[in-house]
Amino acid sequence: MQSVRLEYGRLVKSSVRGEKGFYYPSDNLIPISNSCVAEPMPGWQRYGGLVAYKIPTECVRNKHKYNSHSKYMVIWLEAPAGD
């Protein structure tokens, strides 16, 4: 799996923590506010055709961040074609 360039305005799914401590894609779409590169999360399973990536928190507005201290956050994107 390769890195993905995310441009300003692209909508991505945020993460939500499930009952057993695993993270899943939420129903919430958040916009990318600063273009950045998303790195795939090694070892994470796909979920409903979506793949987990980490992005620098500076790529989204404060109201979409987990907290102000995290350097990265996990988002979900559709799996690349042919992958």
Q: What are 11-48's pLDDT values in tens digits?
A: 999 998 888 888 899 999 999 999 999 999 999 999 99
Q: Is residue 11 part of a domain?
A: yes
Q: Are 76 and 53 in contact (CB under 8 A)?
A: yes
Question: Does residue 83 belong to any structural domain of this protein?
Answer: no
- pTM (2 decimals)? 0.88
Give the chain's domain count. Answer: 1
Q: Determine, yes or no, domain membership for 43.
A: yes
What domain range includes position 17? 4-78
Is residue 67 in some structural domain?
A: yes
| Type of residue numbered 13 | K
Say what percent of the chain tops pLDDT 70: 96
CB-CB contact of 54 with 15 (8 Å): no
